[in-house]
A = this chain, B = another copy of it.
Amino acid sequence: MRLKHLRSFPNKSDKKGLAEIGLEIYSWITDLFPLCRSITGQGVRDTLAYFKKIVPSLKCFSVPSGTEVFDWTVPSEWNILDAWVKDKNGKKIIDFKDNNLHVIGYSQAFRGKVNLAELQQHLHSLPDKPNAVPYVTSYYKKQWGFCLSDKQRKKLKPETYEVLIDSEFYNGNLDYGEILIPGKSKKEIFISSYICHPSMANNELSGPGIAIALSRWIKSLKNPYYSYRIIFIPETIGSLTYLKKNIKTLKKNVSAGFNLTCIGDNRCYSFLPSRSGKTLADKVSLNALNYIDQNFKKYNWLDRGSDERQYCAPGIDLPVVSIMRSKYHEYSEYHSSLDDLSLISPKALQESFVMMQTIIESLENNYYLKAKILGEPHMSKRGLYPSLSNNSINISVKNIMNVLTYSDGVNDLIDISNKIGVPTCELIDIVNKLLEFDLVKVSREPDPF
């Protein structure tokens, strides 16, 4: 029995290799950026198809429009072919083909001529960010509309405009993807990210990008302890649909879950706890974040706003936290055309990927430790302690002794990491040394003296 370092990419264990992951994720995001995703429709399917090329075991599911999921109904599928506004000269002044944010998500079809006053009622812009095209949706109330920069809006003159929105609703499907990776145990680690936003980079492509990279990496692990469930869903209606279909299994098996969103920008990490704040997901995340970035932002449950709203809803109560960099709603580029490929970076994506690897490595190695010898072992006879009394006890000897003193069968690796101030990744070699010398035993369940 040995604990395992997991955090090197398969066949690319050098630092350069790791940096390549960031570049690779960034290139995926670049490819996916132009697609017009929504909570249903072709954009979702194209995105899933792209991910399936990276991890072929990704399985796609389709849930028909009209299906009832808890209090909700899967909406009609929405697809859009073209949309524009032309001025009196027939010049396209707003064109969906330039930027898919120009049309509000789930906009109904419209064709006609309108004067400026009427047009204005269907326009959305952000006066305090004059160059940004806002991202607006109206999933459950039929309406049509365009989004544009406030700068452009102010230039519109009182004239007759020709408007086209060539969109359609029909009985179709809500699509989502799922990757299941079996481990030794039926206990699962759950990772969720969403694929329902059109051309925005941090929110949303950073989350799925890192989730698919993690999936590929986890598949490469030899004999993981946990089983893994990674899903790519539309937000809210998708997580509800997924819960509706899988709630029993999830409640029975999920040990820790992570909602990945807004995790590709260069700003500091942030964390949103589960509703109870006391799950294994909270514990492992806080442990990792404390060592990786002491200044990370810790939000509380009142700040929630993504799929943890469903995962931690009363009666569902899954142990799910959100790990982010700049939290949704909290950065100025959020939900606008400013959240573009320049907001995220290969370096940030790589770091976030490693952060998640660290968390998974902690969980995979999170054994309860129990000393096999009463009293302190005689470490110097094993060369693990200086024989001369005045030799200072170096930090690594101190760490070994500190791990031993907390190996009481009740503290797990993360507890010990918290107590002695050493990251779990640095404890792996120490525990292995103690196992090698038969000084401790490890188990997945507490085993008090």
Question: Which of B244, B374, B377 is close to A243, meaning CB atoms less than 8 Å apart?
Answer: B374
Contact call B313/A387, Cβ cutoff below 8 A: no
The A401-432 residues at the B interface (CB cut-off 8 A) are 402, 404-409, 419-421
Contact call B390/A335, Cβ cutoff below 8 A: yes
Question: Which of B236, B315, B405, B407 is close to A374, meaning CB atoms less than 8 Å apart?
Answer: B315
Which residue among A72, A136, A240, A390 has the maximum number of chain B CB atoms within 10 Å of its CB?
A390
Tell me, in angstroms, the Cα distance from A70 to B381 when the chains sit together. 14
Asked if A93 CB lies within 8 Å of chain B CBs, one says no
Contact call B314/A449, Cβ cutoff below 8 A: yes
**Given A301-B405, A405-B301, A375–B243 Cβ distance below 8 Å?**
yes
Contact call B301/A71, Cβ cutoff below 8 A: no
Contact call B140/A405, Cβ cutoff below 8 A: no
Residues in B with CB closer than 8 Å to A375 are 69-72, 239-240, 243-244, 310, 313, 316
Contact call A314/B402, Cβ cutoff below 8 A: no
Tell me, in angstroms, the Cα distance from A378 to B244 when the chains sit together. 14
Residues in B with CB closer than 8 Å to A304 are 405
Residues in B with CB closer than 8 Å to A405 are 275, 301, 304, 309, 312-314
Residues in B with CB closer than 8 Å to A419 are 302
Residues in B with CB closer than 8 Å to A301 are 405
**Given A138-B387, A302-B420, A71–B310 Cβ distance below 8 Å?**
no
Further pairs besides A135-B389, A143-B388, A240-B376: 5, Cβ < 8 Å = A71-B375, A134-B390, A236-B376, A314-B371, A335-B390
Give A contacts to B, CB under 8 Å: 69-73, 104-105, 124, 134-141, 143, 236, 239-240, 243-244, 247, 275, 301-302, 304, 309-310, 312-317, 335, 370-371, 373-378, 380-381, 387-390, 402, 404-409, 419-421, 449
